Amino acid sequence: MQDRLKFAAFGGALVVLFGVALGIGALVGDPAEPAPDGMTHSAGADTGLAASRSGYTLADLSAPTAPNQAGTLRFRITGPDGAPVVGFRTQHNKKLHLIVVRSDTTQYRHVHPTMDAAGTWSIDWTWAQPGTYRVFTDFMPETAGNEPGGLVLSRTINATGTVEPQPLPPPARTATVDGYQVAATGDLGTAGSEPRFTITRGGSPVTDLEPYLGAYAHLVALRANDLAYLHVHPEGEVGRTPAGPEVAFHAQAPSAGAYRLYLDFSHGGAVHTAEFTMEASMVESSTGPSTSGGTPHQGGGH
């Protein structure tokens, strides 16, 4: 992925990808939904919020309607001709990446559905909690000419019931998950920064992280006030960079404010997700100060 907000990963720049997740009380979100500032982002805006972009549409999204109800999450990606798209390029070992999160930044999931011959994507699905969720699809269609590049399309969907929104946890430098301890150093900033994460277990450094989607770890950061998100990959390369205990990222936040970070890493044959809250600071760069109202361009690839 590429954009003016650059991230170093595998020796190249990655894109910052943004989406706004707001509950609207419907099973399927509209292509253009109101933003927290009262403005409406059009389907053409590079925010990750749009259900349609560059002629492609996230269509026919459905899922179980209530928590603890086993079922299937389904959707299709339709192309400029209105037909379901069946050709996708592999990005980070998968044809499509699905990221789902509730509007209060909880219930985060990064999963990979499968597609049938007719172009319908599906995955077994059960909601653990009621609420409004943003469903992001990240993919790159196989097209000849006029290549749109990586795309992220999203819609909202509801799991019915009484919602108990969770407050954003306070900023912290340590997190514990599945018996692992993860310590964060460095900061987020609007002029670029290098957050680092050190993974230990039982007081011993983890030096044999397992490749997950072509990397030793993946990082998603959601801006707390609107769920705008970015996804980056660590510096270095599998097989050349040490497999832990430290994983470093280079990131440039789009604006100052609170972010919820999700660090996915694989060890012991399972994927673990450590969660942090960080405050991004406003820092002047050599080209001038960053602004909180700027909207980066969208791109794909996980």
Q: Which of 118-132, 217-231, 243-257, 278-292 has the highest mean pLDDT?
A: 118-132
41 falls in which pLDDT band (50, 70, 90)? Answer: very low
**Is the pLDDT reported for residue 146 higher than 60?**
no
Which three-class secondary structure state does DSSP give residue 202? coil
pLDDT at 13 over 50: no
CATH architecture of the domain covering 174-289: Sandwich (2.60)
What's this model's pTM, rounded to 2 decimal places? 0.78
Per-residue 3-state assignment (H helix, E strand, C coil) for 90-125: CECCECEEEEEEECCCCCCEEECCEECCCCEEEEEE
Q: Would you state the pLDDT for residue 151?
A: 85
**16-159: CATH, from 3.40.50.300, 2.60.40.10, 3.30.310.50, 3.40.30.10:** 2.60.40.10
What's the maximum distance between 2 C-alpha atoms anywhere in the chain?
A: 56
Residues 192-214, mean pLDDT to the nearest whole number? 95
| 54-68 pLDDT per residue, tens | 999 999 999 999 999
Residue 45: the pLDDT is 37
Residue 269 has pLDDT above 60, yes or no: yes
Q: What is the mean pLDDT of the chain?
A: 80
Q: Dihedral sign for Cα 45, 47, 48, 51, please.
A: negative
Domains of the chain, residue spans: 16-159, 174-289
Q: What are the tokens at 7?
A: 């991230």
The Cα 27–Cα 293 span in angstroms is 29
Same fold? 16-159, 174-289: yes
